[in-house]
Chain A
Amino acid sequence: MKATNCIRAALAGLWLAWLAGVSHAGQTHVAVAANFTDAAREIAAAFKQKTGHDAVLSFGSSGQLLAQITQEAPFQIMLSADEERPKKLVDDGFGIPESRFTYAVGKLVLWSRDPKTVTGADTLKNGRFQKVSIASPSAAPYGAAAIESMRALGLYDALKPKIVEGASIAQAFQFVDTGNAEVGFIALSQLAGNNGGSRWLVDQTLYTPIRQDAVLLKKGAQNPAATAFMAFLKGPEARATIEKFGYGLDDKR
């Protein structure tokens, strides 16, 4: 009897401590497109330090995250890899219209772990590789941009049999990183702090700019931590981080 009382008291204490913690600092769930993984981690850490709020990050392809949000996933913010999906979320009543903005402009890069393999567009022309990995073009904007670039170079039909698809850009990277594909189209941000291998920053005239939009979701509209995160993402600290990871910023702002 005494023991159970002790446990009960302890549990109540824990619960109170937890409540106290929550009332001081909030928490927000953010769905993040896979290409933004590392940058988002750094931004979330800075956000925590500055505001005390926790940003809990979930990563996936934009398509995957969209499907989850439309099925009432507990996300309060979506950082997409494109502008269509956040727009669609607003149109379908999941997102707050005026909250949508471009937080980063993505850059596509052709990468190989081998220091000599990638020299430029001619690497694709010569086709001296067996596999080229891309992200799923239907679910991930970087995959669609890769297809678009190959088409613009007139090489798509020749390269098609060599294409392997990852479920997200993270997997496209992993296929090259494990050596299973010699080359792959990935996001420049994935190579931040990695000087290895060889790369070609794909000519940005070859594909539609990858404007990555953020949107506050209805589930987060009443949460101060969520609105604070959106504000923080627009601020100078976050913008510096975003640039550091190899993204462009929206010129329109």
Chain B
Amino acid sequence: MSAELWQPIRLTIELAGLTTLILLIIGTPVAWKLSRHDAWWKHALMAVVAMPLVLPPTVLGFYLLLLLGPSGPGGALASLWGARTMAFSFTGLLIGSVIFSLPFVVQPIHNAFRAMGDRPMEVAATLRASPVRAFWTVAVPLARPGFLTAAMLGFAHTVGEFGVVLMIGGNIPGQTKVLSIAIYDFVETSRWREANILAAGMVAFAFGVILAMNMLEHRMARDNA
């Protein structure tokens, strides 16, 4: 396969991998906080987390274009290293992807923490485990299926991202030209053979991810039973 096909694949894997990693790091504490006790502000926060599910990518793309640009905070940040805008960069896409895929990572972890209930943590506390230790040795292992689902969904959803990238990417090979954009480009220029190779690959990938997730859930359910 030519570099023209490989480059977007590699870039997409890098973007999705990094996005998933960042989301697991910031999503876990958020999901944990949200899963303990009910307060009105938690419902509001939950709604904010879930918003990218409902918003069209064009809304995110439009606001990101303004926020990352020279008159937004992104431009101010970019000026630290001498750039004017954070659009058209890998970092810009990473910021967009983290926002875009947020609910796909937070929600499965949140559900897993909730399903666990308060009991395990209470028991851990009576055994004099510190809250931090209890979190790592009790909550996280119990929520393992949630973490796996979260990682897979976060990764897969970032791979499937298109609208936001189209609006803030600028189609730069090796930096912002991800798989979905490369496919769009090939279709637009009537290069359907290349489009087909990448698109068929995506179909296989999507099937694989969903199949793996179903099998995983099935096995977890059996192991728990």
* A contacts, CB < 8 Å to B: 61, 63-64, 66-67, 70, 130-131, 133, 136, 138-139, 163-167, 171, 174-175, 178-182
Contact = CB atoms under 8 A, between A and B. Distances in A.
Nearest to A182: B84
A131 B88 contact: yes
User: Which one of B70, B75, B172, B188 has the highest number of Cβ atoms from chain A below 10 Å of its Cβ?
Assistant: B188
Contacts of B166: 167
B188 A61 contact: yes
B172 A164 contact: yes
B101 to A, nearest CB: 22
Interface in B124-174: 166-167, 170-172
A133 B65 CA distance: 14
A167 B185 CA distance: 8
A180 B185 contact: no
A181 B171 CA distance: 14
Nearest to B66: A178
Given A63-B189, A180-B88, A130 B171 contact: no
* Interchain residue pairs A-B with the least CB separation, the first 10: A164-B170, A165-B171, A63-B188, A138-B189, A139-B188, A179-B70, A180-B87, A180-B85, A180-B69, A164-B88
Interface of B: 65-66, 68-71, 75, 83-85, 87-88, 166-167, 170-172, 184-185, 187-190
17 contacts: A63-B188, A67-B190, A70-B190, A131-B170, A138-B189, A163-B172, A164-B170, A164-B172, A167-B188, A175-B87, A178-B65, A178-B69, A179-B69, A180-B68, A180-B69, A180-B70, A180-B88
Given A167-B188, A179-B70, 20 more contacts: A61-B188, A63-B188, A66-B190, A67-B188, A70-B190, A130-B83, A131-B85, A131-B170, A136-B185, A138-B188, A139-B188, A139-B189, A165-B172, A166-B170, A166-B171, A178-B69, A179-B75, A180-B84, A180-B87, A181-B85
Contacts, number: 66
Contacts of A131: 84-85, 88, 170
A179 B66 CA distance: 9
B147 to A, nearest CB: 36
A200 to B, nearest CB: 21
Nearest to B71: A179
Interface centre among B70, B87, B88 (most CB of A within 10 A): B88
Contact of B171 (A63, A164, A174): A164
Contacts of B75: 179
B215 to A, nearest CB: 36
